[in-house]
Amino acid sequence: MVLGEDRGGVGGKQAGRSQEARRKDQGQIPRTAAEKKGERRVIFNRFAAEARRCVEAAIDEARRLGHDAVGDDDLLLGILRADEGYAAEALSSLGVTLEGAREESEGMFSDALSSIGISSREIRREAGNAFDMRIADNRRIPFSPQAKRVLGQALRDAVRLRDNRIGIEHILLGVLHNEDSKAVRMLARMGVSPEALETRLFESRGRAAG
């Protein structure tokens, strides 16, 4: 029948567009977007207070460094800046500091520019006091796909370890989960392997539990 063909063709597309328009008019969110938003809300609702401070610090570090998105490297900086719990103890025991991590982050950025023939040192020298990479406070900075994966892994690790809340140590475990991540490369430049850091982290947990 012509009617059936029309439903599957132009008529069906028009009907779909009409339904979509009605949803927008009624302020409804498409199901997939609503589900994703709900998943993010569930994750952040399970964050302990110190983990929230860690994420807020990561956003500020990304802003300070001029990153257009919060990356896994910024989450590592946020962990160091929060300086709380087992994660801080494990990192400190291996000589990892916030200042050192910032230097490595900036060094990796300079190396990336050098690989395409740009000297960050020359840019800084020419710009002088006008050189400022910081992103304006009123500009929203999204989370990168890598950072989202870290936070998702943090939730899974909290569940695996039977912890009621997501703490900073779970975020650190999420960071270490991907050995090819920028954060892990930063740690490698400071002479720290994911295996050594994870071992120290669980040693700290074990001492607290014992």
Q: Where are the domains of the chain?
A: 47-209
* Each residue's pLDDT tens digit, 113-167: 566 666 556 655 665 554 456 687 888 999 999 999 999 999 999 999 999 999 9
Q: Which long-range contacts (CB under 8 A, 24 or more apart) does 33-41 make?
A: none
- pLDDT on residue 65: 85
- Report which of 135, 120, 130, 123 is spatially closest to residue 68, judged by C-alpha positions: 135
- pLDDT on residue 54: 96
- Report which of 154, 176, 178 is spatially closest to residue 165, judged by C-alpha positions: 154
The pLDDT mean for the chain works out to 78
CATH annotation of 47-209: 1.10.1780.10
pLDDT of residue 71 exceeding 80 = yes
Which two three-digit tokens encode residue 122? 């020359």
* Each residue's pLDDT tens digit, 24-68: 443 333 434 444 454 455 466 789 999 999 999 999 999 988 888
HSE-CB at 15 with a 13 A cutoff on CA atoms is: 7
- pLDDT on residue 21: 43
Q: Sort 40 into a burial class: Cβ within 10 Å, 0-12 / 13-18 / 19+.
A: middle
